[in-house]
Amino acid sequence: MDMISRVLYIDLTNRRYSIKERPDLFEKYIGGSGAGSALLLEECPQGVDPLSKDNPIIFAVGPLNGVFPIASKTVAMFKSPHTGDLGESHCGGRTSVAIRLAGFGAIVIKGKSDIPVYISIHGGKVFFKDATTLWGLGNNATVGRIIREREEGSGFRTIMRIGKAGENLVTYANVSAESFRHFGRLGLGAVFGSKLLKAIVVYGNESVPVIDSKLYRETYDEIFNAAVHSTVMKKYHDLGTPMNVLPLNEIGALPTRNLQNGKFEGSDKVSGENYLEHYLGRRVACAHCPVSCIHIAALREPYDDEPYFYKTSMISYDYEPIYALGTMLGIDNPEGLLKLLDKVEAFGIDAISTGVVLAWATEAFKKELISEKETLGLKLQFGDQTTYMEAIKHIAERSNDFYLNLGKGAENASKIYGGSEFALTYNKNEIAGYHTGPAYHLGMILGARHSHLDNAGYSIDQKVLTKQALSEEELANMIIEEESWRNVLSSLVICFFAREIYTLDVVKKTLKIMGLDKTEQEILEIGRQIYMNKFKFKLREGFSFDKLNFPERIFETPTPLGNLDRKFMFGVLNIIKETVLENLSNPS
């Protein structure tokens, strides 16, 4: 195998590093999620405090990164400060190409620095640099700008950094890369913050050998042509992910005002179509992806205090942030919503969790579970964008105990102030934007990292359940199969948007070109093992299927498939529980 099997171990406490060859990991688990979860089981001590020095940060890429198109993602693994169990997050930008072409398959960071630092990885060496002056900067973009000018390697590097929310240990703080991409959800930013690690720059421009150059070029062209000339990537290409807004609204699956409704009367204004027509200012791509799904709005605003002065901000917009900070908060002003997106970007805080947390807080305020005493005078109200701007700042800066509690998630806050029936979380993680039917909610609660992308239950709702009913066993099997397969893709590491291109035979062929000769059956089995390894970690850290619960709200608001059937949902949950526990007690 090539340099994919090299793992870089960094010790922040002693400012040392070492490189080890770990072909065992990459031959057995491919890379990405597979190698990353195996490393997490090795490196993370049982029961460790996620914000202590012993929680490792693991970045893992796969054999296809830097070699095939749309293999553009890096997987981060850590113990999540948000959920207390598995922390897994995927990011594009230039992260994966830079890490892979720096000659590493994975990077493991442990320990804690005594002063703020940033790390620069360059030419096979690790440099520890003083980041004291970067600590506390108000806007995450400034951090990127300063490091960009201090470090070499433009075009061949990634700059991953945290904002104030990460420094302040908000448990859903992000790590941002290349201005607009993120290791979102589950709080990797807080883990960085707890180690006084402000940023990591990785530079890489090496070449990667392949087994058969001719077959490599042919296979590359097949994938490239499918990505560019077929329709499978069209939806990401044209309107980008916000193309979901109107269709989901149409069927009544667009969570609105804390999921009190599945339709939003202002959906036209925050739709992908409206942003395209009035605001789209530029499109950009992750490295090695021809799709360029990253849509950036240009927002021109006057300065209130000085006439004839304007600023133009470039703000990335996607479906999930539009859902969380838009429809969930009843915001129908497209410019106001862009400002909210810009705000969470500046603080480096997860857009989905922030929106869902604020939606809970707004309802709790209305129901008088909390008052202006808690909110520091803010009258939280659906549709009031300026008040939400203030609230986001308070969360990121942990202005008082209430905002500190909000900064640990909606489930945490609802345990303190009440209102758990409308706190939209699964295993403490805030829900994403699809009220499509039972499979979405089951997929999210049963996903190993509780992400809507784990197994895409919303796709089962829309493509299968609209046409036919499924038994509990059938739905459970579909969720397990899809999630197992996605663990293969996230070990390569492919962007899930390209899942229709990277079919099993394409995956088999590309792996062979990289020197990993596996049968289709073996590949599928690896996916299942990775899925089980994640549950192994979760269960070790206190996760329990029996503690999972659905917030009452999801049963109150009908989905396009009707009201959710509680008995059916618990039935599916139970089957997956038994399958996972049986697999873990009898590993094949």
Q: Which of 208, 232, 389, 416 binds other proteins (CB under 8 A)?
A: 208
The site map against other proteins for 255-294 (x = CB under 8 A) is ---------------------------xxxxxxxxx-x-x
Strand partners, 58: 77, 108
Contact between 440 and other proteins by CB under 8 A: the answer reads: no
Contact between 69 and other proteins by CB under 8 A: the answer reads: yes
Q: Which of 31, 144, 163, 409 binds other proteins (CB under 8 A)?
A: 144
DSSP class of residue 328 equals G
Q: 178 in helix, strand or coil?
A: coil
Task: Report the run of H or E that residue 18 belongs to, with start and end.
Answer: strand 16-21
CA 573/CA 554 separation, integer angstroms:
16
Q: Which of 154, 468, 519, 585 binds other proteins (CB under 8 A)?
A: 154
Residue among 228 and 504 whose Cβ is closer to other proteins: 228
Contact between 160 and other proteins by CB under 8 A: the answer reads: no
Contact between 66 and other proteins by CB under 8 A: the answer reads: yes
DSSP class of residue 463 equals I
Residue among 80 and 176 whose Cβ is closer to other proteins: 176
CA 432/CA 17 separation, integer angstroms:
38
Query: Strand order of the sheet with strand 57-60?
Result: 16-21, 6-11, 106-110, 57-60, 74-79, 86-91
| Farthest-apart Cα atoms in the chain, separation | 72
Contact between 224 and other proteins by CB under 8 A: the answer reads: yes
Tell me which stretch binds other proteins (CB under 8 A): 188-196, 207-215, 526-534, 566-574: 207-215
| Closest distance to other proteins from the beta carbon of 513 (Å) | 9
The site map against other proteins for 17-56 (x = CB under 8 A) is ----------------------------------------
Report the sign of the C-alpha dihedral through residues 190, 193, 197, 198, in that order.
Answer: positive
Contact between 142 and other proteins by CB under 8 A: the answer reads: no
Contact between 148 and other proteins by CB under 8 A: the answer reads: yes
Contact between 216 and other proteins by CB under 8 A: the answer reads: yes
Contact between 231 and other proteins by CB under 8 A: the answer reads: no
Contact between 207 and other proteins by CB under 8 A: the answer reads: yes
Tell me which stretch binds other proteins (CB under 8 A): 22-30, 96-104, 414-422, 435-443: 96-104
78: exposed, middle or buried (Cβ count in 10 Å: 0-12, 13-18, 19+): buried
Degrees to nearest 5, angle at CA 432 with 328 and 495 = 135
Contact between 97 and other proteins by CB under 8 A: the answer reads: yes
> Total residues at the site for other proteins (CB under 8 A)?
42
| Closest distance to other proteins from the beta carbon of 417 (Å) | 38
Task: Report the run of H or E that residue 397 belongs to, with start and end.
Answer: helix 385-397
CB atoms under 10 Å from CB of 588, counted, come to: 7
DSSP for 333-366, please give it. Answer: -HHHHHHHHHHHHHHTB-HHHHHHHHHHHHHHHH
- Residues forming contacts to other proteins in the complex (CB under 8 A) are 66-69, 97, 100-101, 141, 144-145, 148, 154-156, 178-180, 205-210, 213, 216-217, 220, 224, 228, 282-290, 292, 294, 296, 314
